[in-house]
């Protein structure tokens, strides 16, 4: 019988090692995101990701045991959230105003600004999932999840506009939700920004003007028409 009590094993942790692992994971994620957007999901292999990131293939699997699908999920989540996902979704986060938001133009500016910024970060990856959905079940699931979340957000916004009395008399909440779903889609963003070559300011202005003129009371005049006149 051993008179000495058995010593509990200590788990050794190193902050430097953990930081190095985090940086490696970030490098792999960012390299994969570039490849997914540039080459497509199906054409991008783990070996390609390793080469782009400058690491060994086994390092990729050590950082992401789930392989490509896990890397894509983390890259997409990071892009959607942005660098600081703690910022309120509806504004600059300055927190100086204590007045409730009641101006329809301010709400439109916030909705368009947040949506455009998110698509500038994540639109490429979202389109990757859409364009690869026919060939890969993971991409099909990601595309369906995003479409469902976008539809839910559009419905929430449409209901808010309706409750505030801002919708035109001939526009139902259901119709407004469909229009908002379309306007905020990565497909429309890609068509105008990537295929038509619009700059981001053109895209934002068009989005705000279209939202006002198609859905909101007084949208045919005011800020919507003045913006159109000033661009002629």
Tokens 């506009």 — which residue? 161
Q: How far apart are CA 114 and CA 225, in angstroms?
A: 23
Based on the domain organization, do 118 and 222 belong to the same domain?
yes
Q: What is the pLDDT of residue 87?
A: 42
Based on the domain organization, do 132 and 55 belong to the same domain?
no
Q: How far apart are CA 162 and CA 169, in angstroms?
A: 10
Residue 4 lies in a domain: no
How many domains are contained in the chain?
2
Q: What is the pLDDT of residue 97?
A: 45
Q: Locate 184 and state its tokens.
A: 């905020």
Based on the domain organization, do 218 and 111 belong to the same domain?
yes
In tens digits, what is the pLDDT along the chain, a chain of 232 residues?
A: 555 555 555 555 678 888 999 999 999 999 999 999 999 999 999 999 999 999 999 999 999 999 999 999 999 999 999 875 444 433 434 344 454 444 788 999 999 999 999 999 999 999 999 999 999 999 999 999 999 999 999 999 999 999 999 999 999 999 999 999 999 999 999 999 999 999 999 999 999 999 999 999 976 544 333 333 334 3
Residue 6 lies in a domain: no
Residue 117 lies in a domain: yes
The residue segments making up the domain with residue 106 are 101-232
Based on the domain organization, do 222 and 154 belong to the same domain?
yes
Q: What is the pLDDT of residue 117?
A: 97
Q: What is the pLDDT of residue 16?
A: 86
* The domain boundary residue, chosen from 84, 119, 144: 84
């Amino acid at each position: 019988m051993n008179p000495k009590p058995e010593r509990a094993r200590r788990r050794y942790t190193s902050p430097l090692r953990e930081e190095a692992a985090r940086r490696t994971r970030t490098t792999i994620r960012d390299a994969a995101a570039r490849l997914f957007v540039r080459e497509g999901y199906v054409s991008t292999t783990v070996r390609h990701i390793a080469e782009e990131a400058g690491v060994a293939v086994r390092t990729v699997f050590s950082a992401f045991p789930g392989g490509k699908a896990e890397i894509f999920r983390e890259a997409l989540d990071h892009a959607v959230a942005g660098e600081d996902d703690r910022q309120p979704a509806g504004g600059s986060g300055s927190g100086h105003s204590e007045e409730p938001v009641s101006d329809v133009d301010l709400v439109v500016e916030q909705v368009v600004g947040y949506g455009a910024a998110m698509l500038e970060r994540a639109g490429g990856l979202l389109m990757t999932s859409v364009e690869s959905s026919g060939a890969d079940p993971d991409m099909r699931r990601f595309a369906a999840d995003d479409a469902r979340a976008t539809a839910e957000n559009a419905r929430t916004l449409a209901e808010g506009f309706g409750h505030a009395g801002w919708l035109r008399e001939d526009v139902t909440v259901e119709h407004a939700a469909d229009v908002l779903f379309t306007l905020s889609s990565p497909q429309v963003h890609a068509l105008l920004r990537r295929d038509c070559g619009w700059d981001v300011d053109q895209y934002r202005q068009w989005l705000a003007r279209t939202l006002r003129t198609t859905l909101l009371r007084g949208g045919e005049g005011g800020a919507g028409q003045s913006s159109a006149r000033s661009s002629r």
